[in-house]
Amino acid sequence: KQEVTQIPAALSVPEGENLVLNCSFTDSAIYNLQWFRQDPGKGLTSLLLIQSSQREQTSGRLNASLDKSSGRSTLYIAASQPGDSATYLCAVRDDKIIFGKGTRLHILP
């Protein structure tokens, strides 16, 4: 049974720092991995989608990597801003989509 773990559960960093969020999964036989952002009381906004054949995807200050063999993905946020404060969720797709519990990120002004 696929399990997705996100570490840390919560993170506070000063504005301007670069940071890394981690996602691990137990079964490497996935088709893709997607990172989402969720603001309080809101739905999920897709940030990056990495297919199983890809190693990374980039969008602006965000870079996501995927290492299927080790069951890991990282989301790198460069030059963090207070507006980046949100919960970040990763989801892996095998026969179903399985979500982690998320990392609550707080950027300190």
Partner 1 sequence: EAGVAQSPRYKIIEKRQSVAFWCNPISGHATLYWYQQILGQGPKLLIQFQNNGVVDDSQLPKDRFSAERLKGVDSTLKIQPAKLEDSAVYLCASSLTGGRLDGYTFGSGTRLTVV
Point out which span in 14-22, 68-76, 77-85, 88-96 binds partner 1 (CB under 8 A).
Answer: 88-96
Nearer to partner 1, 9 or 108 (CB): 9
7, containing H or E segment: strand 4-7
Look up tokens 């801003």; give the residue. 81
Output the smallest distance, CB 40 to partner 1, in A: 10
Q: Are 78 and 32 in contact (CB under 8 A)?
A: no
Q: Which stretch binds partner 1 (CB under 8 A): 11-19, 35-43, 60-68, 71-79?
A: 35-43
Residue (of 20, 9, 14) closest to 82 by Cα position: 14
Q: What is the DSSP letter of 82?
A: G
Q: Which tokens belong to 66?
A: 């995927």
**Does residue 1 bind partner 1 (CB under 8 A)?**
no
- Interacting residues toward partner 1 by CB under 8 A: 4, 31-32, 34, 36, 41-46, 49, 51, 89, 91, 93, 96-102
